[in-house]
Amino acid sequence: MIVSFTSLSKGGTGKSTLAVIITLSLGLAEKRVLLIDLGEEGSSSRIMLKNPSPPYLRNVLEGTYSLVDSIGLYSLSLFFKRRTIRSEFYMIPNVGSLPILNSNLNYLIIELAKLREYLDIVLLDYPAFQDDVYASSVNRTDKIILVVEPNSAHSVISLARKVLKGEVIPVLNKYIKASTFSRNAYDIILSEYNECVRIPFDPALALMNHRTLPYVLGNLKKETQDSLINLISMISG
């Protein structure tokens, strides 16, 4: 299954954060998961590793590496209160601008589909974009995780209505129960999609980077854990 994380043209909604957390969680559950970073400055791969080493996704799109040769196997020790558990996952990191053409991104999705036998799930971490080329590649994936923040829910949802054609799982990230913005955003999403996964604003996610990463899963609020489990089951279901 190929899953994309997008918020269309809105940046900073938490796409990379959620893609990383879900990759690590699926890795813990011994799923064969591949995370692909499409960020030009390195998004999720820079959360996983400070300086990810090549080959990068851009090398695949430039044609200097095959997709298969660019996939690295990574293993990270995660610390919980009394235990350490290893999460194994595959990743294609990226640093540097991508040669984005329709043919390149279509090629990526077609080549990924050929790996179905070897992988359980592929997560594509998109950057914020305005380009139709990105949108049409998102529409070729099996599920679209639309990550929305409370303060921009209205504009993102009206754009999504026009642009997104595939199966959308809407996620309202950084949800704050006491905030009217959050509650209104939840209503906007529900009226469009009849469902909405709310991920609370969580300090452990706000502080997440390559140094804190091993401690993040063990320090999430119970509510955040529950909502992530819910999201993972919607993705896998």
Binding site for ligand ATP (CB under 6 A): 7, 11-17, 39, 43, 127-128, 173-174, 199, 201-202, 205-206, 208
CB of 9 to ligand ATP, least distance (A): 9
When CB distances are held under 5 to 8 angstroms depending on the partner's kind, the choice from Mg ion, ligand ATP, none that residue 201 binds is: ligand ATP
Cβ proximity to ligand ATP: between 18 and 65 the closer is 18
Residues 228 and 199: beta-carbon distance below 8 Å: yes
Cβ proximity to ligand ATP: between 65 and 199 the closer is 199
Choices 12-20, 56-64, 101-109, 205-213 (CB under 5 A): range interacting with Mg ion: 12-20
Residues 167 and 143: beta-carbon distance below 8 Å: yes
CB of 175 to ligand ATP, least distance (A): 8
Of 6, 16, 23, 141, which lies in the binding site for Mg ion, with binding defined by CB under 5 A? 16
Q: Which residues pair with 72 in a beta bridge?
A: 91
Q: Which 26-65 residues touch Mg ion, going by CB under 5 A? A: 43
Q: Structure tokens of 148?
A: 């929305």
Interhelix angle for 222-236 vs 15-28, to 10°?
A: 80
CB of 117 to ligand ATP, least distance (A): 30
List C-alpha distances in Å: 146 to 59, 124, 159, 221, 234.
Answer: 27, 12, 11, 22, 13
CB of 229 to ligand ATP, least distance (A): 15
Sheet of 143-148: strands edge to edge?
A: 72-79, 84-92, 33-37, 121-125, 2-6, 143-148, 168-175, 197-200
182 part of the interface to Mg ion, by CB under 5 A: no
CB of 104 to ligand ATP, least distance (A): 19
CB of 5 to Mg ion, least distance (A): 8
Q: What is the CA radius of gyration of the chain?
A: 17
Apex 102 CA angle, 64 and 231, nearest 5: 95
Cβ proximity to ligand ATP: between 122 and 205 the closer is 205
| Residues that bind Mg ion in the complex, under the rule CB under 5 A | 15-16, 43
